Structure 1
Amino acid sequence: MKIERKHSKRDHLFYSALTILISAIGFAGFSFTYFGPIIRASYPSSGMVLHLHGWSFFLWYLLFPIQAIFIARRKRVFHMILGRFSVILVLLMTLTGILVLTVRVEEAMRNGGPQIWLLYGPLVLSNLVLFVTFYFAGMYMAIKNRLQSHKRLIIVASSIGLGAGFFRLIFHLSGFHPMSLPVGVLGCSLFIIIGIIYDKITHRYVHPAYWAGLIVMLIVEVSLLPQVNGEMVAWINEGLAAIGEYLGDFYPTEPTGEI
């Protein structure tokens, strides 16, 4: 069993830069469909749930690089305080995300809403589930003081959670294409690959957290593409729509905007 190495100054610089890059891309993507229209006062009237999801997402990815910088500056106490607060944000952004997703799938299935939810609703669900799974795995490693595993698992979680923002950035730069969303979601594996390359070059060893994150992400999310497994996508949509039917009162979809 490998002994986890201590943090180096080079590691601190790399992880601070990587977290800033990940968050910046997320903010750039959402600036076109959410943050920009909010600032210009042109965003359509929407329910509180949508805004809770959007701003909890914003705050989590804002704290993400700040926490890395705190560690680099040996401010571990502040890092841990923000880490505890980030748990609340993760729960909020995930629960509101699932609420919006299920209601949108139900609307698309029963009332002719945007069909993209039926194509990629299960993919979005897997994105949320994997984000939460790797995030809490990372928090568990922090409790166990396995900090090398902790920081890599959080990188994996943040990369997977970036799918919606990365998709919007691709959409803005290249225009809509049926594969824009899956390319955006799966393209976030790039940040995990950057971590793998850094480990290999710097430490001559790739931490298993990266391999686990990359392999699980690709297997789960590719298997939920409608082009790969249409029957499973349809089956999951039925379940999401059934849940959305009961949750519709908590998230009225008209009038609304899209994050």
Structure 2
Amino acid sequence: MNNLSNHRTSFYFYFNLFILILAIGGFVINALVHPDTLPPASALVYIHGVIMFLWYILIVVQSNLVRSRKISLHKKLGKSSLLLALGIVITGIWMSMAHYSRPDGFLFSTINMFILINFIILYSLALINRHQSEFHKRYMTFASLAAVFPALARIILGLNLNEYLSVPLWILLVLVMGVFDLKSQKKIHPATIIGSALIFLGIALILVLMENAAWKEFLDRLMS
């Protein structure tokens, strides 16, 4: 039983570490290969980037603390996630408004809106279930997965591949959670079902609304 528990906690550490590497790698690759596609340098861009970086670092550290069974420190450090989550939401909304006038502003804002909605829902579920570890760790991981899409898109762009390949890559990362559940406990955990459903629904809505004239008119008015 202890070996199985260690295996499960190790999975979350290594999976979140992999997400951190993707998040960093995506922006580094794109900055080196396509610097012209980067948002104009500003304090907002730097602040948002730093907050996102700290979020992914925190999730890795927290996963490692659980793996090392340092639960008391994990709980104390976890309080800092409130500030980071708030910072992600505020700067994320601000980024959408500040960059809406760019040629890709409509697409960026549409994607960003559903990323933020899912992030808020999943992080809130993680807080509500903070005393139920099996739910909590899954919802925190899904909150990270909900926000990782911009980095995945930059990886694809940096590799000069079809930009739409970032969507199946995102889906693949989400499916990893379900596969892990099936392998470790022979069934998919309810939190995994909810987290996956929210992200898949967000992807579907983004794909539909990015071609919808009424949605564009709504965003134009909202951002004006």
Question: Structure 2 length normalisation: TM-score?
Answer: 0.87
2:12 paired residue among 11, 15, 21: 15
Distance (Å, rounded) in 1 between the aligned partners of 2:217 and 2:116: 18
Asked if structure 2 preserves the Cα contact closer than 8 Å seen for 1:160 and 1:185, the reply is no
For 1:33-182, what aligned pairs fall within 5 Å after superposition?
33=30, 46-105=41-100, 107=101, 113-114=102-103, 116-142=104-130, 145-175=131-161, 177=162, 180=163
1:29 is aligned to 26
Which structure is richer in relative contact order (CA contacts within 8 A, separation 6 or more)?
1
Asked if structure 2 preserves the Cα contact closer than 8 Å seen for 1:225 and 1:233, the reply is no
Residue correspondences, number: 217
Corresponding position: 1:213 with 2:195: yes
Asked if structure 2 preserves the Cα contact closer than 8 Å seen for 1:25 and 1:166, the reply is yes
Compute the RMSD of aligned alpha carbons.
2.4
For structure 2, the 5+ residue unaligned runs are none
Deviation at residue 13 of structure 1 after TM alignment: 1.4
Distance (Å, rounded) in 2 between the aligned partners of 1:205 and 1:44: 43
Q: Which has the larger radius of gyration?
A: 1
Deviation at residue 57 of structure 1 after TM alignment: 0.5
For structure 1, the 5+ residue unaligned runs are 1-6, 38-42, 108-112, 243-259
Distance (Å, rounded) in 2 between the aligned partners of 1:232 and 1:212: 29
Distance (Å, rounded) in 1 between the aligned partners of 2:99 and 2:122: 26
Deviation at residue 195 of structure 1 after TM alignment: 1.3
Distance (Å, rounded) in 2 between the aligned partners of 1:163 and 1:185: 8
The answer to which structure has the higher helix fraction is 2
> 3-state DSSP class of the match of 1:188?
helix
Given the superposition, is the C-alpha separation of residues 189 and 83 from structure 1 closer, same or farther in structure 2, using an over 3 Å criterion? farther
Distance (Å, rounded) in 1 between the aligned partners of 2:196 and 2:168: 10
Distance (Å, rounded) in 1 between the aligned partners of 2:122 and 2:174: 12
